[in-house]
Amino acid sequence: MDSHTIETLRRDANRHREIAKRIDAFIDELLALEAGNQSLALNGSDLFEATAEAAETKKRFEDMTQLEAVRVILKESKGAKTRDIFRALNRGGKRIARASYVTAILSKHNEFYRDENGDWQLMPF
């Protein structure tokens, strides 16, 4: 073997060690999270904040009706496409099978309208 090959192998070994350290740290964070330790932040990671935020988002619309959840989405977004509303509802814990069901919900109520861009809006009252 020449010295170039050995240098390359050493560089690769160091890179893989660094990756292994990151994976180990991530495993430690996941184990701590499973144990309920949400305040622990190893290696300055945002894992806990992101995971807690994602869990909270999943439950956001759980206790609302579909109509109430749509109102919240449109108030916060200042208008949205049907597909975006559909995704937001599902991410927020309000499972809807098809985006066309969102259109049905919106079309049944006079408080929603489509603007010139095709975005759903709340009627100004």
Domain hosting 18: range is 3-55
In a domain, 61, yes or no: no
Q: Is the domain of 70 the same as that of 118?
A: yes
Distances (CA, A) of 90 to 51, 69, 73, 85: 17, 10, 12, 9
Residues 9 and 39 in one domain: yes
> Is residue 47 one of the residues assigned to a domain?
yes
* pLDDT tens-digit profile, the chain (125 residues): 677 788 889 888 888 888 888 887 777 777 777 776 555 544 445 544 455 555 556 678 888 899 999 999 999 888 889 999 998 888 888 888 888 899 998 999 889 999 998 899 998 87
Alpha carbon distance 115, 60 (integer Å): 27
CA distances for 46 relative to 20, 25, 26, 40, 80, angstroms: 19, 12, 11, 10, 29
70 and 32, same domain (yes or no): no
Residues 44 and 82 in one domain: no
User: pTM value?
Assistant: 0.55
Question: Do 37 and 81 lie in a common domain?
Answer: no
CA 117, CA 31: separation in Å to the nearest integer? 47
Per residue in 70-98, pLDDT tens?
999 999 888 889 999 998 888 888 888 88
As a whole number of angstroms, the distance between CA 15 and CA 118 comes to: 50
| Structural domain total, the chain | 2
